[in-house]
Amino acid sequence: MKKQLIASLVGGIILFVWQFLSWSMLNIHGSEMAYTANQDKILENLTQNLEEGSYFLPNLPPGSSSAEEQAYMEKSAGKPWAIVSYHKAMNTSMGMNMFRGFAVDLVAAFLLTWLLLKFANLDMKTSVLASLAVGGIGYLTIPYLNSVWFESNSIGYLIDVAAQWGLVGVWLGWWLPRR
């Protein structure tokens, strides 16, 4: 159990550090947070017209009929649309977010470690490939599918999968087979 806890702790730290680098110093996700010179006007308009929440625009009111949905789809084809997550106040305190992020990374590393320990003949290659497979499954079923449906860029997440899960796979491939 000690081996699994050490493996998970170091794996969680590797995930956390990569995510920090990816979103900050390396700016891999910069395209997801582009700047617009019109931001003050847009935020003023949103403040006047939205309650806090997430929106897909344009959209139909709840309870619309199938006929209304069909007409909406035809009317909306080829026109502008947006996804908006609106919050009335920016919370710049990152302590709880970082704690929650690290906790999730620890759990993910623990689950991967548990899975790898079930392999009869774990070696470096199997560890790295299995780690990349786990990361790849997560990428394909969330960021990639979202990029398909919402026409966004998911390359940053793909880079994250290769880097962070590859690094964790190398760590676990070195640490776990040691007796």
User: Does residue 15 sit within a domain?
Assistant: yes
The reported pTM is 0.87
Asked, for residue 76, whether it belongs to a domain, the answer is no
Mean pLDDT score, 88-106: 95
Q: Is the model's pLDDT at 178 over the cut of 90?
A: no
Q: How far apart are CA 16 and CA 14, in angstroms?
A: 6
Amino acid identity of residue 90, one-letter, is: M
Q: What is the pLDDT of residue 55?
A: 96
As a whole-number percent, the residues of the chain with pLDDT over 90 amount to 96
Q: How would residue 41 be classed by pLDDT, with cut points 50, 70 and 90?
A: very high
Q: Is residue 24 part of a domain?
A: yes
Q: Name the token pair of 62.
A: 């709840």
Residue 33, token pair as written in the block: 């947070």
Tokens describing residue 72: 């909406």
Q: What is the pLDDT of residues 141-159, one digit of tens each?
A: 999 999 999 999 999 999 9
Which tens digit of pLDDT belongs to each residue from 98-139? 999 999 999 999 999 999 999 999 999 999 999 999 999 999
Q: Is residue 148 part of a domain?
A: yes
pLDDT digits (tens, 9 = 90+) for 54-81: 999 999 999 999 999 999 999 999 999 9
Establish if 115 belongs to a structural domain.
Answer: yes
Q: Is residue 164 part of a domain?
A: yes
Cα(46)–Cα(87) distance, integer angstroms: 9
Nearest 10 degrees: CA dihedral of 109, 103, 155, 128?
A: -10
Cis link prior to 58 (omega < 30° from 0)? yes
Asked whether residue 45 is assigned to any structural domain, the reply reads no
Tell me how many degrees the CA angle 110-122-177 measures, rounded to the nearest 5.
75
Which pLDDT does position 179 carry in this prediction?
66
For the chain, what is the mean pLDDT?
95
Is residue 44, in this structure, part of any structural domain at all?
no
Q: Are 112 and 172 within 8 A, CB to CB?
A: yes
Task: State the number of CA atoms in the 13 A half-sphere of 88 facing the CB.
Answer: 5
Around Cβ 18, how many Cβ atoms within 10 Å? 21
Instruction: Quote the percentage of the chain above a pLDDT of 70.
Output: 99
Quickly state the pLDDT bin for 87 (edges 50, 70, 90): very high
Total domain count, the chain: 1
Give the range of the structural domain holding residue 146, as residue numbers without chain letter: 2-35+93-175
One-letter-per-residue 3-state SS of the chain: CHHHHHHHHHHHHHHHHHHHHHHCCCCCCHHHHCCCCCHHHHHHHHHHHCCCEEEEECCCCCCCCHHHHHHHHHHHCCCCCEEEEECCCCCCCCHHHHHHHHHHHHHHHHHHHHHHCCCCCCCHHHHHHHHHHHHHHHHHHHHHHHHHHHCCCCHHHHHHHHHHHHHHHHHHHHHCCCC
